[in-house]
């Protein structure tokens, strides 16, 4: 519902379903701006909201940040992928071009990477998503197109290569790791004053203390046993 493409998809689905139906909608976050649009798809809905937004946090998810310059990101990412134990990783970037470029770089470094972004056709995105979900690739580079609604049980690490634009987007991104009540690890690159501002917003909004990534991290804290 947060994009024109998604609204069109929902509208098409509604046209193909019976007129008399029960509609239920769930979201970790729901902005005041989007609520009127949601109500157009429902009749006199009962609305239930979490009474305290600070409760919107992820139990079992270890969260850290790394301060670095923009030019240091590629080397640090390479080092992390070499050093960390993981099943599958999702790396979030801020644009289509950065997704394509970073995926190309990772493939050149012999990492099993694939990318998904809005510049692809829906058919191509679904093919790549299936490829990743079935475990044929262990690293997914993606824009926020993938930040909502995908459920891949094997993903246990999320890396914010680029800082998300808001606390809500951060929550949706890192929620890709540690799903189904399992453990997970989220690492966020902080390379500017605006990045630091968003990180502070995340900590205040969800009442979580995100510490700098230590030199050594206990694998048992984020890898399912």
- How confident is the prediction along the chain (225 residues), in pLDDT tens digits per residue? 555 666 777 788 888 899 888 888 877 667 677 778 888 888 888 887 765 555 556 677 899 999 999 999 999 999 999 999 999 999 999 999 999 999 999 999 999 999 999 899 989 999 999 999 999 999 999 999 876 667 788 899 999 999 999 998 998 899 888 665 678 999 999 999 999 999 999 999 888 899 999 999 999 988 877
pLDDT confidence of residue 149: 61
pLDDT at 151: 75
What residues contact 90, with CB distance under 8 A and at least 6 apart?
Answer: 140, 142, 146, 155, 157, 158, 159, 173, 176, 177
The Cα–Cα gap between 210 and 32 comes to 27
All domains in the chain, ordered by first residue: 4-49 (no CATH), 57-221 (3.40.50.300)
Query: Taking the C-alpha atoms of 116, 118, 120 and 122 in order, what is their torsion angle to the nearest 10 degrees?
Result: 90
pLDDT at 58: 65
Q: For residue 51, what pLDDT is reported?
A: 55
Assigned token pair, 117: 């972004």
Q: Are 44 and 22 in contact (CB under 8 A)?
A: no
Q: At how many degrees (to 10) do helices 96-108 and 73-83 cross?
A: 50
pTM, two decimals, is: 0.80
The rounded distance, in Å, linking the Cα atoms of 187 and 113 is 18
Strands of the chain (E only): list them: 61-67, 88-92, 113-116, 139-142, 155-160, 184-190, 211-212
Of 125, 128, 134, 126, nearest to 155 (Cα)?
Answer: 134
Q: Say how far apart CA 138 and CA 123 lie, in whole Å.
A: 21
């Amino acid at each position: 519902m947060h994009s024109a493409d998604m609204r069109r998809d929902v509208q098409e689905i509604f046209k193909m379903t019976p007129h008399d139906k029960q509609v239920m909608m769930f979201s970790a976050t729901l902005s005041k701006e989007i609520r009127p649009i949601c109500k157009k798809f429902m009749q006199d809905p009962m609305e239930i909201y979490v009474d305290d937004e600070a409760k919107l946090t992820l139990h079992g998810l270890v969260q850290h940040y790394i301060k670095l310059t923009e030019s240091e990101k590629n080397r640090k990412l390479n080092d992390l992928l070499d050093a960390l134990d993981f099943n599958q990783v999702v790396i979030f970037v801020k644009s289509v071009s950065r997704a394509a470029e970073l995926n190309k770089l990772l493939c050149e470094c012999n990492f099993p990477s694939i990318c998904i972004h809005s510049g692809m056709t829906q058919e191509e995105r679904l093919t790549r998503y299936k490829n990743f979900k079935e475990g044929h690739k262990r690293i997914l580079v993606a824009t926020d197109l993938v930040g909502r609604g995908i459920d891949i049980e094997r993903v246990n690490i999320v890396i914010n290569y680029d800082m998300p634009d808001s606390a809500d987007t951060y929550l949706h991104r890192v929620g890709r790791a540690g799903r189904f009540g399992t453990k997970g690890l989220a690492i966020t690159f902080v390379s500017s004053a605006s990045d630091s501002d968003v990180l502070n917003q995340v900590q205040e909004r969800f009442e979580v203390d995100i510490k700098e990534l230590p030199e050594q991290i206990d694998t048992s804290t984020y890898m399912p046993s």
